[in-house]
Amino acid sequence: MRVLVTGAAGFIGTHVSAVLREAGHEIVGLDLMHPAAHRAQAPVPPGVRHGDVRRAADVDAALEGVDAVCHQAAMVGNGVDAQDLPAYADHNDHGTAVLLAAMGRAGVGRLVLASSMVVYGDGRYTCAEHGDVPPAPRRVDDLDAGRFDPGCGVCGAPVTWRHVGEDAAFEPRTSYAASKVAQEHYASAWCTLEGGSAVALRYHNVYGPGMPADTPYSGVAAIFRSALERGQAPRVFEDGQQMRDFVHVRDVARANLAALERVGDLASGLHAYNVASGHPCTLGEMARILAAAGDGPDPVVTGDHRPYDVRHVVASPQRAYDELGFTAEVPPAEGLADLAHAPLRTR
Ligand code: UD1
């Protein structure tokens, strides 16, 4: 297959392109070399053309002879404050709309879209009395007092987290999350209008070699890894008991390969899949694994909290296994220990 990979010079796009090539596919790479991800004058990597998904002429040219599109280009991170909203809307929402319109003109009917588990907002919880419930909103008073676990949204009693399936409602909390929901909606509309088939891969916390070093937009694995490189302890917010699933970038790339090879056989419409390692762990555990492997100082649990953070979110990897045949291969304990010595991208 000839595949257009947008964001091909980025952290995930680089690994996706490599795995697709290894599987025998031909790649057309497109990347804007955005300054949030690449330093000024960074060379465009071999096999990637410099171009912008928001510019129809760039996308039309890149789509020539293409069988499928793998759309990784995006502004990432949570966004720092509301001033980031226009940039997320521009790159992620508008860029996706331009890309989809171009695919319509070029008659390309297969799309794999990088989405995120941030579309769910907080995870899903079970109350002993009320069953599956939404969590009560996190109140600043509770967080200040060190009460980090949410209560039942109905009665306030303690709840236990459970896996989030793909049918859970969208509850985006950040600029980035809102733009990922929008991308899925645009992809769904494109399927209806063009009879296309699309897969949205909702990545859990991605880590691995080549991930960007500490920036205001970095995820926690890069922040901890960068701190250790400076000889500083990872600073773990809240009480360190919040649950996440850290999935290796190579597994994320393999999920893209599986999706691209299956999307043509799926019914027209958007199909969403969580992409997770299947081995969730607490933030505190993750910090300890990284610090120990890097021979760095022990993590410090600070009790700090951020207004947009969710408490526990753990996506179920079951549907991706059942329908795409995808299962992650890298156990987080191994992959995170490797990350302690893996090169980071300094932009
Ligand atoms: C992260 C990504 C999000 C991505 C999602 C799924 C970022 C900023 N967030 O969301 O874009 O879509 O995974 O792949 O890239 N924390 C600390 N110390 C720190 C920073 C954070 O303890 O210095 C804690 C936070 O309070 C939070 C957890 O680490 O509890 C995860 O934070 P983070 O990686 O920023 O965001 P996610 O919500 O997991």
Query: Where do the domains of the chain lie?
Result: 2-123+164-340, 124-163
Radius of gyration of the chain (CA): 20
User: 236 CB under 6 A from ligand 1?
Assistant: yes
Tokens at 69, concatenated: 């599109």
User: 319 CB under 6 A from ligand 1?
Assistant: no
Q: How far is the CA of 220 from the centre of ligand 1 (A)?
A: 5
The C-alpha atoms of residue 278 and residue 268 are separated, in whole angstroms, by 28
Give the CA angle between residues 223, 225, 306 to the nearest 5°.
25
- C-beta atoms surrounding 141 within 10 Å: 8
Strands, E assignment, 194-344 = 197-203, 205-207, 235-236, 243-244, 246-248, 269-275, 281-282, 300-301
Kindly report the protein residue whose alpha carbon is nearest to atom 35 of ligand 1.
Answer: 219
- Provide CATH code, domain 2-123+164-340: 3.40.50.720
User: 117 CB under 6 A from ligand 1?
Assistant: yes
What is the end-to-end Cα distance of the chain in Å, rounded?
31
Tokens at 181, concatenated: 């929901």
User: 76 CB under 6 A from ligand 1?
Assistant: yes
Do residues 345 and 210 make contact, with C-beta atoms less than 8 angstroms apart?
Answer: yes
Do residues 29 and 48 make contact, with C-beta atoms less than 8 angstroms apart?
Answer: yes
Cα-flanking dihedrals φ and ψ of residue 248, to 5°?
A: -70, 140
Kindly report the protein residue whose alpha carbon is nearest to atom 14 of ligand 1.
Answer: 205
Kindly report the protein residue whose alpha carbon is nearest to atom 27 of ligand 1.
Answer: 309
User: 219 CB under 6 A from ligand 1?
Assistant: yes
Identify the burial level of 87 via C-beta atoms within 10 angstroms of its C-beta, where 0-12 means exposed, 13-18 middle and 19 or more buried: middle
Q: How far is the CA of 337 from the centre of ligand 1 (A)?
A: 18
What pairing do the DSSP bridges indicate for beta strands 124-127 and 131-133?
antiparallel
Distance of CA 91 to the CA centre of its chain: 16
List the pLDDT tens digit at each of the 347 positions of the chain. Answer: 999 999 999 999 999 999 999 999 999 999 999 888 888 788 899 999 999 999 999 999 999 999 999 999 999 887 778 899 999 999 999 999 999 999 999 999 999 999 999 999 999 999 999 999 989 999 999 999 999 999 999 999 999 999 999 999 999 999 999 999 999 999 999 999 999 999 999 999 999 999 988 676 678 999 999 999 999 999 999 999 999 999 999 999 999 999 999 999 999 999 999 999 999 999 999 999 999 999 999 999 999 999 889 999 999 999 999 999 999 999 999 999 999 999 888 76
Pocket probe for ligand 1: among 12, 117, 205, the residue whose CB has the most ligand atoms within 8 Å is: 205
User: 77 CB under 6 A from ligand 1?
Assistant: yes
